[in-house]
Amino acid sequence: MRVVRSQFRGCPRNCKRRADIEATERERSGRRWRPRPASQETGRRFNVTCGGGSAEDVILQVPHTDSAVTVAEHAPRRRWPVATLALFSLAALLAVLSLGAGPVALAPDTVTAALFGAGTEPHRIIVQEIRLPRAVLALAIGAILGLSGAALQGLLRNPLASPALFGAPQAAAFGAVVVIATGLADALSFALPVAAIAAAFVSVFVLLAVAGRNANLLILILAGLALSALAGAGTSLAVNLAPNPYAALEITFWLLGSLEDRSFQHVALALPFILAGAAILFANRNALRTLSLGEEAAQSLGVDVGRLRLAVIAGVALGVGGAVAVSGTIGFIGLVAPHLARPLLGYDPARLLLPSAAIGAALLLAADIAVRLIPATTDIKVGVLTAIIGVPFFLYLIVRDRRSLTGGLS
């Protein structure tokens, strides 16, 4: 007989061991298991049959002596503050690195000096006026894409959901393309983002009007799909009717998604919308958690599901509309970020929002650094890179989770 001294601290493995012990004991005694006061449990010995043979476990410590039923902390939950902070630190680190990356490579100390007004004039211009707005946009846009993806996956209870599902980015892109094609963008630089945000709003309002206030998710998804197709067709038409090849080329390049040559004007225009969208989504996090039980159960718990759905869609439209307006369409970050967060932090939709935002920001920053470092005669657009890396990764996720994905949508 092998003597195993297990200390129960609440980590999943030990919890499981404890669960095994209790199950074994319950089977042996043949009656309902009743929790005992911790004082009676400490020091008890159990013979547990496991895999290769039998073992003896001694309970050395039972957490929370005041409660008969253990209230041990679940490991992902305990890890949450540290992991979230670490992910945001990673995003911040990448933001600093992105200030140094480009045709003129700058060391971190040069970057820091230039950022705070020291260093040479060209360095200050490169860091403060060219690369800082780009880094801020990558941070904000990546974060709102990750946050929107996590919120929509929570709302739809489907790990395949993404902002693109509701047609918002496609509509925003269509709005922007119309402005480019008609030449308004040159005359009035602010027309481009304004049109994109307006189109995102219109698409969401049309979506809700078509689907009705209490529509089920299937109807919303179908209506969203139809709207994306319509926006895509509108965009193609704009390219088709472009007055000259240069306009068509400009549209096509803009659609690829990029953060190049963005100024603080772009930041000022996109950031308020992104922040407003993020605030709405984050404020509804706990209601999203109740949706894990389905819409009826959530409603019976006092959640106004119709209002929640409206809030999430409005938050996504605000954030994604603002983002697409200045960056073009950058895909797959909203889809992939929550998947990267889950193995670290569990599946709770509410607790995935902030980590997904941090991962989204880190992903977009990394991609935006990568396009500057890849040697190519023409600049590679960051939207192209996120799709090239994102799609195979996502396919891998689908294959990995194939079994659990079926039946995810009610």
Partner 1 sequence: MSAAYLSARGLGVRLGARDLIAGVSFDLPRGCLAAVIGPNGAGKTTLLRALAGLVPSRGEIRVGGGDAAALSIRERALRFAYLPQGHAVHWPLPVRDVVALGRYPHGATDPANLPRRDAEAVARAIAAADLGALADRPVTELSGGEKARVALARVLAVEAPVVLADEPIASLDPRYQLDVMALLRETALGGALVLVVTHDLGLAARFADRVLVLKDGRLIEAGAPAAALSPEVLAHAFHIGAFRAEHDGAPVLVPWVAP
Positions touching partner 1 (CB under 8 A) are 10, 12, 15-16, 18-19, 22-23, 26, 32-35, 67-72, 74, 77, 80, 157, 286-287, 289-294, 296-297, 299-304, 346-351, 404, 408, 410
CB of 184 to partner 1, least distance (A): 45
Q: What's the min distance (Å) between Cβ of 209 and partner 1?
A: 21
Our CB check for partner 1 shows the closer of 41 and 368 to be: 41
Q: Minimum distance between the CB of residue 122 and partner 1, rounded to whole angstroms? A: 50
CB 69, min distance to partner 1, A: 4
Residue 29 C-beta-side C-alpha neighbours within 13 Å: 11
Q: How many residues in total does the chain contain?
A: 410
Which among 178, 223, 217, 189 is positioned nearest to 203, based on CA atoms? 223
Minimum Å gap between C-beta 30 and partner 1 is: 13
Handedness of CA 224, 193, 97, 384 (dihedral sign): positive
Smallest distance, partner 1 to C-beta of residue 113, A? 42
Task: Report the b/e string of 30-66 with b at 16+ CB within 10 A.
Answer: eeeeeeeebeebeeeebebeeeeeebebebeebeeee
Phi, psi of 57 (to 5 degrees): -105, 140
Q: Which is nearer to partner 1, 118 or 297 (CB)?
A: 297
Nearer to partner 1, 216 or 236 (CB): 216
**Tokens of residue 138, six digits:** 């990558």
Structure tokens at 306: 């119709």
All residues at 6 or more sequence positions from 96 whose CB lies less than 8 Å from its CB, including other chains: 108, 111, 112
Which is nearer to partner 1, 131 or 351 (by Cβ)? Answer: 351
Q: How far is the CB of 61 from partner 1 (least distance, A)?
A: 16
- CA 285 – CA 342 distance, rounded (Å): 16
Per-residue tokens: 90: 């990673």
For 367, residues 6+ apart whose C-beta sits below 8 A from its C-beta are 382, 385, 386, 389
Nearest distance, CB of residue 364 and partner 1, angstroms: 26
State which residue, 114 or 298, has the beta carbon closest to partner 1.
Answer: 298
Which residue is associated with the tokens 């902002």? 163
Nearer to partner 1, 268 or 279 (CB): 279
> Maximum Cα–Cα distance for the chain, whole Å?
85
Q: Which is nearer to partner 1, 264 or 282 (CB)?
A: 282
CB of 24 vs partner 1, minimal distance in Å? 10
| Cα 355 to Cα 360: distance, rounded to the nearest angstrom | 8
- At residue 45, what are phi and psi to the nearest 5 degrees? -110, 145
Q: Residue 112 CB, nearest distance to partner 1 (Å)?
A: 37
Query: Which of 258, 290 has the CB closer to partner 1?
Result: 290
Give the full edge-to-edge strand order of the sheet including 53-59.
Answer: 2-6, 53-59, 45-50
User: Are the C-beta atoms of residues 359 and 337 closer than 8 Å to each other?
Assistant: yes
- Helix H or strand E encompassing 45: strand 45-50
In the complex with partner 1, the residue whose CB is nearer, 102 or 306, is 306
Q: Are strands 53-59 and 45-50 parallel, antiparallel or unpaired?
A: antiparallel
